[in-house]
Amino acid sequence: MITNLITMNGYGLYVWLSFSVVFISCAVVYFKTRKTLKKYEKEFLTELQALTLEEKNKALENSKVAQQILTTSSKVN
């Protein structure tokens, strides 16, 4: 049964290559997207932390997104 699964009655090369191309491409795009997201989150936090306390509070008051990012990062840390 395992031999059959690998050879696919002579079509194994085409079937496995198709599935591999799809899953490798999808994995590369996923990890690249995640890396970019993490980079932007980190940069955003660095800039937020560089503000004075007053500016920081103002930014957090005005932006729900800033509050969310700060909450998520504190959970992670």
- Which x/- pattern, by CB under 8 A, does the window 46-75 give for other proteins? -xx--x---x--xx--xxxxx-xx--x---
Q: How far apart are CA 19 and CA 26, in angstroms?
A: 11
Interacting residue with other proteins among 3, 12, 53, 61 (CB under 8 A): 12
Q: Are 67 and 44 in contact (CB under 8 A)?
A: no
Q: Can residue 31 be called a binding residue for other proteins (CB under 8 A)?
A: no
Task: Give the whole-angstrom CA distance, residue 38 versus residue 64.
Answer: 18
How many CA atoms does the CB half-sphere of 49 hold within 13 Å?
10
Binding site for other proteins (CB under 8 A): 5, 8-12, 14-15, 17-19, 21-22, 25-26, 29-30, 33-34, 36-37, 40-41, 43-44, 47-48, 51, 55, 58-59, 62-66, 68-69, 72
